[in-house]
Structure 1
C-alpha cells in the first residue's frame, strides 16, 4: 500500500510489462511507468531479433498497451524516435500516432529546439507530454515557457540526475533548483526525477518534494524491502560538485533560454542508436 505521507508519485522505469506486474505485486501500487527506446531494446522479447520499422513500432505499441492494462489509472510515457536530424514536424507526427495508442499516454520529446517546438504544438492540441533528457535549469525554464497554458497533469519534466552524478555534478541539486524556480510559476509543469540509480536518489527526490520520480525495478524493490521510508537525512554527496541556482524569468519566450547541453545530445544519440540496432 502507498504510504499516507508519500506525496511523490512513483513510476517504474521499464520497457517490460512483466516488471510492471512484478512491481505491483511487491509494492502494492504504481502511479505510472516511463519507457524509452533503450528500455524497449532491453525487453527480453527483443533479444537476438531484428525488426522492420513497422514491426518495431507494433512491438512498442503492444508493450505500452499491456502496461496500460496493468495500470489503467496511471500515466505511461511513450518516447518518439529522434536523432539529431529529426524535425519537429516528424516528432509531432509520431507523437500524434503514439498518443492514440492508449488512453493514458504522455509523449516523450527530447528537450531540444525541435523537441520543444513539437511539445508546444502538442499541448495546444491537448496532448500530454513528458520532456526528457533535461540536464539544466535553463532547459527546465524553456519547457515551462513553451508549454505555458497547459493544465497541470499534461506536462512532465524529466531531469536525469544519475547522468549528472556520473560526471561529478550533484544531480539532486538540479531537482532542488528546478522545484524552487517553479514555485514562482503557475504549477503546470510537474518535475519527474529520472535516471534514479539507487535508494539514496529515490529518498532524496521524495524528501525534496519532487512531484514524480521514476525508478528501475531493483531500486523500487530495495525501497519496499526497507519498509517504504519517505525520508533520508544523510544524503550529502560531498564528492559531487554543487549545481548553483540561477535566477531566471519564466515569463520570457522559451527561445530566450540556452537549452544546449552536451548530455542531451549524447542521450539523443544513445536512444536512437539503441532503437536502430533493433532494425533489420
Structure 2
C-alpha cells in the first residue's frame, strides 16, 4: 500500500511484464513504467522470441513493441507509460513526430519519449500543440532541462516529463543527484508543467536519495524498487546521504524565458545514449 507521506511517483524502468506484476504485488501500487529500445531488447520475452524465431523484420518488431506496451498499459491503466521513438543523430523532427503520432494511439496513457537534441526539441514544440504528452529523455545537464521547459510551454501541468540520467553520472565519479537538485531548484521559478523524472536509478541508495530530494517521479530498475519495497518503503531524510566522494555539479543561474534552442543542448552523454539505444534496436532487425 502506498505510504501516506510518499509524494514522489514510482515508475518501473523496464519492458519485462513479469517485473511489472511482481512490483505491483510487492508495493500494492505502481505509478507508471518507462520503456526504451535497450530494455525492450533485453527483456526475457524479447530474448526468448529472438532465440526461438530469429530477429524481426521491421513491421514485426514494431508490432511486438506495441503489444508489450499494451500489456503494460493493461496492468497500469491509471499509470503513465513511456514509449520511445527511434532517433539517431540524423533523425529529423518530422520523422520523430510521425512516430509519436502513431505511438500515441497505441494506448490511452502514453508519454512519448523524444531525445533532448535540437530536432527532438523542435518535435516537442509541435507535439505540445497537438496535445501529445512527452517524456524528454537523455538529460545530462541543467541547460538541457531549461531547453525542455522552454520548448514545451503551454503544456498542461504534468503533461511533460524531463528525464535526467543520474546513474551514468555516478559511473563517471560525478554526483548525479546534484543534477536533480539543480533542476528542481531551477524549476521553482516555473509553472510546474514539466515534472522531474529521475532516471537511470540503479541502486537502492540512489533510489532513496531521489526520494529524499523530493523529485516528482523516479523510474528505477527492478532490483532497486524491490529492495525499497522489501525494506518497508522508507522515506529517508536528505541528510542521510553523503555525496562528498563524488565530483559535484554546480548550480547554473538560468532563466527559463529564452527560446529553447538558445540553451547549450549538445552533450556527449546524450549522443552516447542515443547510439546505445539505436544499436540495441537495430540488433533486433533482420
Question: TM-score normalised by the shorter chain: which range applies?
Answer: over 0.9
Q: Which runs of 5+ in 1 are unaligned?
A: none
Alignment match, 1:82: 87
TM-score, with length taken from structure 2: 0.96
Residues in 2 aligned to 1:278 and 1:186: alpha-carbon distance in whole angstroms: 41
Residue 121 of structure 2, aligned match among 109, 116, 120: 116
The number of residues matched between the two structures is: 280
Shift of the alpha carbon at 1:3? Answer: 0.3
Residue 216 of structure 2, aligned match among 211, 214, 221: 211
Q: Deviation digits for residues 197-247 of structure 1, max 9, x if unmatched? A: 111111111111100000111111100111100114332122210000000
Alignment match, 2:259: 253
What is the 5 A alignment of 1:162-241?
162-232=167-237, 233-241=239-247
Alignment match, 1:24: 24
TM-score, with length taken from structure 1: 0.99
Alignment match, 1:128: 133
Q: Deviation digits for residues 62-118 of structure 1, max 9, x if unmatched? A: 001000000100000000001111111101100100000000000000000111111
Residues in 1 aligned to 2:172 and 2:228: alpha-carbon distance in whole angstroms: 25
Q: Which runs of 5+ in 2 are unaligned?
A: none
Shift of the alpha carbon at 1:196? Answer: 0.2
SS at match of 1:61: helix
Q: Is the 8 A contact 2:136 2:160 kept in 1?
A: yes
Alignment match, 1:151: 156
Shift of the alpha carbon at 1:52? Answer: 0.7
Alignment match, 1:269: 275
Shift of the alpha carbon at 1:45? Answer: 2.2
Residues in 2 aligned to 1:14 and 1:85: alpha-carbon distance in whole angstroms: 26
Residues in 2 aligned to 1:50 and 1:152: alpha-carbon distance in whole angstroms: 40
CA RMSD of aligned residues (A): 0.8
List, as ranges, runs of 4+ consecutive aligned residues in structure 1 with deviation greater than 3 Å.
none
Residues in 2 aligned to 1:7 and 1:203: alpha-carbon distance in whole angstroms: 13
Residues in 2 aligned to 1:278 and 1:69: alpha-carbon distance in whole angstroms: 25
